[in-house]
Every structure is written in structure tokens, then in C-alpha cells.
Amino acid sequence: MSRAAKRERFWLNGRFVSESGARVSVLDRGVLYGDALYEVVRFYGRKIFLLDDHLDRLFDEAEAIALPKRFERKAITRAVCGLVARSEKPDGLVLLQWTRGEGPRRLAPPPGLRGTVFAIRFDLPTIPAALRRRGVNVITLPDERWLSTHIKSTNLLASVLARKKADEAGAYEAVLHRGRGPRARITEATSSSFFLVKRGRLVTPAVRGLLPGITRSVVLAVARKEGIPIEERTVRLGEIRNADEAFLTATSAEVLPIGRVNGAPLRHPAPGPVTKRLGRAFARFRGRVLAGTPRVAPA
Ligand code: PLP
């Protein structure tokens, strides 16, 4: 394999391609309507972390919205492994995107669509170690996304605008809420799940209607094992003010302490003791899972 082929970062509809070959039609429904799903998986030392969980989520959602199944799970697994094999770096992310495919422009999907599937390998976004230690700043914003946020749709305009506001405010993330005032219901952040800690109890919005975050479920599992009491329930915006600690979870960020919310520090300087404990427990879980995960041989 040539050096250029070895570094290919793109896979499109069955082929590894260079960036110039990674083109979809302007009539693709992913482009026209955001009629598509996505998934992000992470690899550590060329081992893909919890790939089955990510593929389960993707295929369940694809079934829920009746996306045409252009590729079986095996082919998509091979695509992800191929991109990891072609990576010069042992660690990174692979984005998978699956659209309803190309066809005449009309909202109701015409019959006979095949679907479009592509994957792109990315470097991990760098979160400076000092920021990770001190905790990130977040702002709170109304959740203007569609209501079916348990579907990881590429229709992300509301999230883009919320992140733009967060960026402009010098914040890392926006924590979203539905409703107004202190009784507004926290949902999640634009690309992470949200947790707070109050008097040693771990509190997180119940997942119904929200993205079932894979990192979130790992954190809940390790918290249970650690004997930390868990409350999965409606979480009110006003509760942040009295929280001892808060953190975000996501595939790329793992367990990320929050330092300030709308400029105000939490009760415990970040990372608080429960966040730290869960961060360590998450790392141990990850180590155990990766120990039993095959390493993708470099191409
Ligand atoms: N919530 C939203 C809205 C997300 O987009 C993401 C990740 O992209 C998450 C939560 C975290 O999910 P996971 O832990 O599966 O990466």
C-alpha cells in the first residue's frame, strides 16, 4: 500500500478514498434535509472502544427512522477498522455518517433510495491538561433542538448556534434546558451528557427523549459499582446553583469536570471528589475493556 493510501482518512460507500474522492451529491438527502444519522467512535492505541455499543445505537436508530440499509454491520466495522489501520496516530476518532441517500428533492422519501454511508478519521480534539484539571466553563441556554434528541441526527443547526454562543462567551460547552426560569428542565449539553453531584449523590437527567450517551451509561455503571447513589430524574436549572460538583461526559472528552456555570464557580473547586473518583473509575473500566479488545494492525 502506498504511503498516501496508508493515510487515507475517508471511506465512502464501500471504498477508502482521499479527500478529493470523498464527495457526495448535492441531491443527497443528508445535504438537503439533514436526513441522516451520525456516530463517533474513539480508538486508543489502535483499539476501538465499545464499537459494538456505538454500532448498536446507530443500527437501532437507523431502524427507528427506516434508513435504507446499504451496508451490513460487518462492512461498517471493516470500514472503521480500515481507517484505524491507516492512521499514523494510535489514538483518534472515527465519525460515521449514514444518510437516506440521493434522490429527487421532495420531503417524503421516494422509494428505491440506497442510502449513503461514509466515515472520516479525525484527530482527538485537544483539551489542555490545565483546563481538564481546573474544569471547563459552560453556559446555559434554551434547548432549541428538535424534540427527538434520542436520535443522533445530523440536523444540528440549533446545536451549532448554541456552540457559537458558547464560543463567543469563552465557554467550552452549552448546557441546554427546556422551559424558563429555575424550574426549566436540563436536557444535556450540545455534544455531551450532563451530571451534577449534590451531597454525594450523582444526579443526571433521565435519558427518556435524550441521547443515551455511551459514556454516560459507563459512568452510571461504575458509579453503581462504587456505591455512589444515583438519581436519574428531571433536573431543574435552579439546581446547578446549589450543586457541589458538575461534569460532562462524551466519547471524546470522557469525564470532564465543569469549573464554572455562567461565570459562577460550583461549591467545590473542580474537579470535586466525586468527579475525580468517577474519572478514575472510568479510566479503570476503559483499561479493562481495552485489555479484551483486539488491536487493529497498522496497514
Ligand atoms: N449528548 C449529545 C447531544 C451528544 O451529541 C453526545 C455525543 O456526541 C453525547 C451526549 C455523548 O454521547 P457519547 O457518550 O455516546 O459520546
Of 179, 173, 225, which Cα lies nearest the Cα of 195? 173
Tell whether ligand 1 has an atom less than 6 A from the beta carbon of residue 188.
yes
Please state the atom number of ligand 1 nearest to the C-alpha of residue 251.
16
Q: What is the mean pLDDT of residues 72-83?
A: 98
Task: State whether 103 and 210 are in the same domain.
Answer: no
Does 213 map to a domain?
yes
Does 293 map to a domain?
no
Angle at 131 between CA 247 and CA 227, to 5 degrees: 30
First to last CA, the chain: 8
Does 297 map to a domain?
no
Q: What is the mean pLDDT of residues 80-86?
A: 98
Query: Which of 48, 193, 214, 215, when mutated, tests ligand 1's pocket best, judged by the most ligand atoms within 8 Å of its CB?
Result: 193
Q: What confidence tens digit (pLDDT) does each residue in 117-131 have?
A: 999 999 998 889 888
Examine the pLDDT at 281 and tell me if it is beyond 90. Answer: yes
Active site residues: 152
Task: State whether 139 and 225 are in the same domain.
Answer: yes
Among the candidates 62, 88, 122, a domain finishes at: 122
Examine the pLDDT at 86 and tell me if it is beyond 90. Answer: yes
Task: State whether 276 and 157 are in the same domain.
Answer: yes
Query: Which of 56, 190, 251, when mutated, tests ligand 1's pocket best, judged by the most ligand atoms within 8 Å of its CB?
Result: 251
How remote is the CA of residue 191 from the centroid of ligand 1, in Å? 5
The reported pTM is 0.96
Q: What average pLDDT is seen over the chain?
A: 96
Does 247 map to a domain?
yes
Of 78, 48, 75, 29, which Cα lies nearest the Cα of 251? 48
Using CA atoms, how far residue 93 sits from 57, 83, 166, 199, 298, in Å, is 17, 10, 23, 35, 16
The CATH number of whichever domain residue 171 belongs to comes to 3.20.10.10
Rounded percentage of the chain residues whose pLDDT exceeds 90? 94
In this predicted structure, what is the pLDDT of residue 294? 97
Task: State whether 233 and 261 are in the same domain.
Answer: yes
Task: State whether 172 and 197 are in the same domain.
Answer: yes
Does 35 map to a domain?
yes
How remote is the CA of residue 97 from the centroid of ligand 1, in Å? 15
Residue found by looking up cell 464554572 in the block: 260
Q: What residues have CB less than 8 Å from 109, skipping those under 6 apart?
A: 29, 35, 100, 103
Distance between CA atoms of residues 279 and 285, nearest Å: 10
What is the DSSP pairing of strand 185-189 with strand 92-99? unpaired
With beta carbons less than 8 A apart as the criterion, state whether 117 and 76 touch: yes
In this predicted structure, what is the pLDDT of residue 126? 87
Examine the pLDDT at 150 and tell me if it is beyond 90. Answer: yes
Task: State whether 142 and 278 are in the same domain.
Answer: yes
Task: State whether 106 and 196 are in the same domain.
Answer: no
The CATH number of whichever domain residue 54 belongs to comes to 3.30.470.10
Q: What is the mean pLDDT of residues 276-280?
A: 97
Closest protein CA for atom 5 of ligand 1: 191
Q: What is the mean pLDDT of residues 37-41?
A: 98
Using CA atoms, how far residue 54 sits from 76, 154, 194, in Å, is 11, 16, 19
Q: What confidence tens digit (pLDDT) does each residue in 214-257 have?
A: 999 999 999 999 999 999 999 999 999 999 999 999 999 999 99
Examine the pLDDT at 20 and tell me if it is beyond 90. Answer: yes
Query: Which of 52, 61, 175, 192, when mutated, tests ligand 1's pocket best, judged by the most ligand atoms within 8 Å of its CB?
Result: 192
Range of the domain at 259: 129-287
Task: State whether 113 and 145 are in the same domain.
Answer: no
Task: State whether 169 and 68 are in the same domain.
Answer: no
With beta carbons less than 8 A apart as the criterion, state whether 285 and 222 touch: yes
Task: State whether 211 and 245 are in the same domain.
Answer: yes
Does 165 map to a domain?
yes
Among the candidates 107, 122, 137, a domain finishes at: 122
Q: What confidence tens digit (pLDDT) does each residue in 204-213 have?
A: 999 999 999 9
Task: State whether 111 and 133 are in the same domain.
Answer: no
Does 135 map to a domain?
yes
Residue found by looking up cell 469536570 in the block: 257
How many domains does one find in the chain? 2
Please state the atom number of ligand 1 nearest to the C-alpha of residue 216.
14
Distance between CA atoms of residues 143 and 145, nearest Å: 6
Among the candidates 71, 98, 122, a domain finishes at: 122
Examine the pLDDT at 68 and tell me if it is beyond 70. Answer: yes
Tell whether ligand 1 has an atom less than 6 A from the beta carbon of residue 139.
no
In this predicted structure, what is the pLDDT of residue 3? 62
Tell whether ligand 1 has an atom less than 6 A from the beta carbon of residue 213.
yes
Q: At 7, is the pLDDT very low, low, confident or very high (cuts 50, 70, 90)?
A: confident
Task: State whether 153 and 76 are in the same domain.
Answer: no
In this predicted structure, what is the pLDDT of residue 196? 98
Does 164 map to a domain?
yes
Please state the atom number of ligand 1 nearest to the C-alpha of residue 214.
15
Please state the atom number of ligand 1 nearest to the C-alpha of residue 193.
10
